[in-house]
Structures are given as structure tokens and as C-alpha cells.
Amino acid sequence: MPPKPATSARRLRLAAELRKLRERADLSATEGARRLGVSQAQLSNIEASRFGVSPERIRALADIYECADQAYVDGLIELTRDEKNAWWETFRGILPAPLLNLAELEHHATRLRSANTTHVPGLLQTTDHAREIFRQVVPEFTATEVEHRVSHRLQRQAVLERSVPFSATVHEAALRTPVGGTAVARRQLEHLLTQSEREQVTLQVIPFSVGAHPGSGQTFFYMHGSVPPLDTVHLDQSHGPVLLDAVDQLDQYRALIDRMTAVALGPAESRDLIRTVIREL
């Protein structure tokens, strides 16, 4: 019986990383399969995520490809461990697969960083705020689709109950946009203040006074893996979520969020600015 197909986001990433390893070793699929002692079709199925792969085989491939980075290899092996009865699987067939992939990668991340210039980060949104955001999507969602999206977003926020550090850099423009009206906006800002006091949450605001800055107009979510090469960037585009994991892309977005954070106010000053915005509503 063939191995169980690899369908999760982490298994897909594992397959892609194994292919990258072979290519960096400058080996063809035919030669890689020969050295592993399998058919080219079997190796192709592994690299296409049609077959699962055991930790032992990952170690064997790392040896064949002369990968001496043990932390990276351990990270690849960790990607084989699926979450049993994962909550996001209840949305399979209801929401687009990329949203389930986001929840899975987020759940397993070692650190989370968000850069937002026009919206409050999804992990820090209230129910009413999230609902209004989804009501503004074009083409429009049905009422049922809106509620599915809201439920998914709220369940994602359970990651904050764990000890995973979450840093959010938010532009003042996002704070001053009265999404859902004054009452909803006030509750959202008060929620930000409460969440920013949590030990694992760091919230920093880029004030209007900074002017032009790196990342102006951009929104992205950076999820740290067990080692930097296994990080992932999430872009929320109008046509749907996009996940990036090429090394040069990761380097670019890591540097970008560092520079955005550098021009932001500190956590205490950021809370003071949020309180000012609340008073001015």
C-alpha cells in the first residue's frame, strides 16, 4: 500500500525543501533516486508531496545531498509530525485551503510577527471588527461565508494562549480607521490595550509623525519556523492568501519588518497613543 498522501501545509513544505536540497546538491532526480535506492517515480512522488516520507528517509536524503546542517535536518523531520484532530480541519471544504495552511503554520511557529499599515492584525481583532472587515470583501461573501471567516479568525487567536511570542507593528492609520463605527472601533482599541499587556505580546505603533518609512502601505505576517530557512511569510491579497518561503523572500521580509519595528514607538508609548486615539473618538 502506498504511503498516505502528504496534504498538510507542513508536509507540502517538507516536500519542497527536499527538492531544494537535491537541486543544491546538483543532482538530477534520476541520480538522487539511484543513490537512495528507489525509483525516480518514487522520489518524484516524495518531492511532489504525493507520498509521505519517514524521518529515517529524510536523514538518508540529507546524507546523500551532503547536508551537514543538523538543526535544519531536525527541522525537516519535525515537519512530519502532524497535529492530531487539528481544529482547522473542521473548515476543510468550507474555507479555501490556504487559510487552513495559515492556521497550521501559525500553530507550529516558534515566533510570530505581524506588520500592518491599514488593518489591525487578525490575531488581535475583536469579533465585530473582523465581521466588518469580511463584509467589505469584493466580491462579497454571503452572510454564512462571513461567519465562517470570523469563526476561523477567532479560533486562530487561540495561539496567543500559548507561550509563542507575538510581535505586532501597526501604523497609526489602522488605529484611526473607525471600522464598524465609533462603538466597534472603541472596543477594538480597548482590546488592543488589553492584549498588549500580555507577557508574550508586543504591540508597537508607527505614528503619523514618522512620515514615509520602509514598508509603507504593506501588510504581511512572518511566521518563524524551527530554523530560519523554514520560516514562512503570509501575504493577504485580494485574490486570496499567498505563502512565501524562498530564501531571498524571507531575507527581504525579515529585514523589512525589522526596519518597520525600528521606527515604531516602544510598547509603553504605543499604549499611550492608543489611549489618545480612544479619547479622540
Q: Which residue, of 21, 46, 78, is where some domain finishes?
A: 78
SS3 labels along the chain? CCCCCCCCHHHHHHHHHHHHHHHHCCCCHHHHHHHHCCCHHHHHHHHCCCCCCCHHHHHHHHHHCCCCCHHHHHHHHHCCCCCCCCHHHHHECCECHHHHHHHHHHHHCCEEEEEECCCCCHHHCCHHHHHHHHHCCCCCCCHHHHHHHHHHHHHHHHHHHCCCCEEEEEEHHHHHCCCCCHHHHHHHHHHHHHHHCCCCEEEEEECHHHCCCCCCCCCEEEEECCCHHHCEEEEEECCEEEEECCHHHHHHHHHHHHHHHHHCCCHHHHHHHHHHHHHHC
User: In the numeric block, which cell numbers belong to residue 229?
Assistant: 530557512
pLDDT at 78 over 70: yes
> Residue 46: what pLDDT?
95
Dihedrals phi, psi of 39, to nearest 5 degrees: -80, 160
Closest CA to 170 of 106, 107, 213: 213
> Residue 238: what pLDDT?
73
Decide if 241 is inside a domain.
Answer: yes
> Residue 1: what pLDDT?
35
| 205 and 225 part of one domain | yes
| 58 and 135 part of one domain | no
| 126 and 216 part of one domain | yes
pTM: 0.93
* Domain boundaries, position 15: 9-78
| 162 and 215 part of one domain | yes
- For the chain, give the mean pLDDT: 94
Decide if 194 is inside a domain.
Answer: yes
What domain count does the chain have?
Answer: 2
| 218 and 274 part of one domain | yes
Decide if 2 is inside a domain.
Answer: no
Reported as a pLDDT band with limits 50, 70 and 90, residue 5 is: very low
What is the CATH number for 25? 1.10.260.40
pLDDT at 273 over 80: yes
Q: Which residue, of 78, 101, 123, is where some domain finishes?
A: 78
| 145 and 233 part of one domain | yes
Closest CA to 223 of 250, 260, 196, 241: 250
Decide if 227 is inside a domain.
Answer: yes
Reported as a pLDDT band with limits 50, 70 and 90, residue 6 is: very low
In the block, cell 520560516 appears at 231
Decide if 162 is inside a domain.
Answer: yes
Query: 237 versus 18: which is more confidently predicted?
Result: 18
Q: Which residue, of 32, 55, 78, is where some domain finishes?
A: 78
pLDDT at 2 over 50: no
| 111 and 51 part of one domain | no
| 181 and 245 part of one domain | yes
Decide if 4 is inside a domain.
Answer: no
> Residue 83: what pLDDT?
75
| 30 and 145 part of one domain | no
**Contact status, residue 240 vs residue 98, Cβ threshold 8 Å:** yes
The pLDDT of 83-91, averaged and rounded, is 90
The pLDDT of 225-252, averaged and rounded, is 92
Reported as a pLDDT band with limits 50, 70 and 90, residue 240 is: confident
pLDDT per position as a tens digit, 181-230: 999 999 999 999 999 999 999 999 999 999 999 999 889 999 999 999 99
| 91 and 58 part of one domain | no
| 135 and 170 part of one domain | yes
Q: At what angle do helices 97-108 and 143-156 cross, to 10 degrees?
A: 10
Decide if 139 is inside a domain.
Answer: yes
| 195 and 252 part of one domain | yes
What is the CATH number for 177? 3.30.870
Residues 6 or more apart in contact with residue 119 via CB below 8 angstroms = 133, 174, 219
The pLDDT of 52-64, averaged and rounded, is 95
Decide if 3 is inside a domain.
Answer: no
Reported as a pLDDT band with limits 50, 70 and 90, residue 88 is: very high
